[in-house]
Amino acid sequence: MAKRKSGTDYDKYFFDAKARNKKTKMDGNKKKKLLILYGIVFVFALAYFIFIISGLPSLEQLENPKPQLATKVYTIDGELLGTISIQNRIETKIDSLPPYMANALISTEDRKFYTHWGVDLTRFIKAMIKNVLTFRHEGASTITKQLAKNLYHFKVKDENIFQTVTRKIREWITAVQIEKTFTKKEILQLYLNVSYFGRGAYGVESAARVYFNKKGKDLTLPECALFVALLKSPVYYDPVKHPKHAITRRNQVMYNMVDNDMLSEAEYEKLDKQPIDLVSEKINSNPTIAPYFMEYVRQQLVSMADKYGYDLYRDGLNVYTSIDYKMQQIANKAAADHLKEYQALFNRDWNWNSHKALLASIMDRAIKDSHEYNLAQTTQEKAQVYNRLKYEPDFIDSVKKAATTIQVGFVVIDPTNGQIRAMVGGENQDFGRGLNHVVGIKRQPGSAFKPFTYTVAIDNGYFPAYTLLNQKFNYNGWSPDNFENDYGGYMTLRQALAHSINVIAGRLTISNMAPPSQVVKYAHRMGIESPLEAFPSIALGTSSVSPLELTSAYGTFADNGIHVSPISILKIEDKNGILIDKFVPEFTEAISPQTASIMVSMLEDVVNYGTGAGIRRFFQYPAAGKTGTTQNFSDAWYVGFTPQLVAGVWVGFDDHRVKFTSSYGQGARAAAPIWGRFMEGTYKALNLPVKYFQMASGIDTVSFCKTTMDLGDARLATPYCPSIVRDIINSKNPPPKCEIHGGSGSRIKKEEHKGDSGW
């Protein structure tokens, strides 16, 4: 036997009491630390388990899924405008559906459906290994797990990795509970009743009516296969927008049935060539005359959901809005009639051969934004998709058409209470989820911004008959041109605004008459919310704004200087009619009534003999407004008002580089006719009374009415002027001791009239 060395741990433990005690103490400390560590892990695990359980549906929820009630949206005149819901759903029994509906679903989504207990572990492990090895994302979800997700909506927006793991665990647990609660047949039935098939259709019965206008029991095998295809992506495989994608995926679903011995090869070869015969190319399961307004309201309701604690898509709310059903119909027709005429005019003039560089840029962006390009995983795959789409005729044509489609943003507001009466958010009036050109764009308003500059000048003590030189100037390198390069001598402010003279508007901002910083301040007070740059060029509308805020700001003129913030939702009630909340707009004293009256009078002349005179082809009642055209005819505007309504029109293109090709892109021609058509139709259909603009008290009548004595232009006197003032203008002889004052607001001075006139 080998002799042990002295001083080993063995000797220390058996022959050295101190070492033995120290060792025992260390071992004890290690055990304590391990116990503490185990305790901490256990506490966290228990807490996480409780957290997981707390987010699971109750047994009652599992056995009786909560009915989902649509939110109903009403117009101000009591019409049902539309509904907001997750489920446009008609429930059906699985026995009433063709057997190949379930066969197609199982063959594609979950081939082990009848053998697993809610979670397919084998498939899950294989999918995870494949994901790691190929860097792809392949799911391993079962039908039951998808049902759990569809029923109880575990997913939250922009979830992190912890939330994702938690959600998946909850879905797995719920899937197992569903398997324990329902039979396989009941699970299939529930799944087919709650799944989303696109176009607002929830459930296969609803989808059958939306896409094919038939009952579920009458569906053919290819139609059932299409619905299973839509489960993967109702957008990418939409048979209306992407028919080729839809047919390819539908055929793949049918081939899955062949592979799963549920369809013969011969039958497949007969069916895969069949087209998709839809009931209509304009499928809309939830029709509404104001789709963009509905989406605008929906977004507001979503933002308020946390505050009021409602579920917008399930609680059956009653929402009462400001929209007027008849006005909306008239607005739709006015916009559609004008755009049809104008699109044909533009198409005759536009030639892509003259814009090859622009087309290349637009194509590049369109390809990179395409769903197919973004689905590609590797650089090589993306390059293949790019090169194919670049030369695909159908894709090129669709991009060209989208780029050259004339868009519109048109909104109508009651200026006295800010209530939106009509909204046309785009050229396509059947689709409200696209870009809303009333609230979703910001463009330069051009000359439509000039009234705010003139407002500052009037409020600073100048008057409509004040004259400025209509000649070019150079102010630190800025030298604006008049539209038709027409220059002359002196011109009154009233004439300059009516004819939209750029040089005069520019002179207002380079002088102390309307300093840019003051114009910014006034515009914001009157309803412009977008940031504005305080440069002299602001007079020509170089800062971008949205059609809604510009229209709302014009309402300040119509409402005697009071700005009322735009409002669309008046009140919300629950499903039992109990009030949740009422909504009122904000009122702001933006400018004085006197300044507003003077500006209304000047803007009336824009319509009576200025750039807005074209609306008189349609509308003969009292009206005021201003046209706007931006550089190179990019954007066309017209914003105008009557004593009862203010309405704003923007017309242009989604891609700002596509422009009108000549002067037909002016606001007076491209935008104003929509305003005129609408007002004409509204006043006739609704039998609105003729009202006139009322002059505010306290205005210096002589200053307001007179023109430059050198011009002697009596035409600029308005109906508000006493006859004696018009006589004075014509005779060029002011009354004795008659003091001429300009301005309004705090600067208003009452005239002193002493003499033969008796004033």
Q: What angle do CA 722, 724, 725 make, to 5 degrees?
A: 70
Cβ 488 vs Cβ 544: under 8 Å: no
3-state helix, strand and coil shares in percent for the chain, rounded to the nearest 5: 50, 10, 40
Instruction: Give the integer Cα–Cα distance in Å for 476 and 585.
Output: 43
Q: How far is CA 58 from CA 48, 55, 152, 290, in A?
A: 18, 9, 11, 39
Residue 411: helix, strand or coil by DSSP? strand
Query: Is 447 an active-site residue?
Result: yes
DSSP strand pairing (201-202 vs 88-89): parallel
* C-alpha closest to that of 140 among 128, 152, 151, 149: 128
How many other CB atoms are found less than 10 A from the CB of residue 531?
A: 11
Backbone φ, ψ for residue 623 (5° rounding): -155, 155
Number of Cβ within a 10 Å radius of residue 712: 12
Q: What are phi and psi of 412, to 5 degrees?
A: -125, 135
Of the residues 85, 107, 109, 634, only one is catalytic, namely 109
Q: Do the Cβ atoms of 253 and 233 come closer than 8 Å?
A: no
Angle among Cα 603, 609, 615 to the nearest 5 degrees reads 80
Among 672, 620, 665, 616, smallest CA distance to 648 is for: 672
Q: Based on C-alpha coordinates, what's the Rg of the chain?
A: 36
Separation between Cα atoms, residue 334 and residue 673, nearest integer Å: 8
Separation of alpha carbons 412 and 642, rounded Å: 11
Query: Out of 447, 537, 552, 634, which one is annotated catalytic?
Result: 447
Residue 145 backbone phi and psi in degrees, to 5: -65, -40
How far is it, in rounded angstroms, from Cα 424 to Cα 436?
A: 8
| Active-site residue set | 109, 447
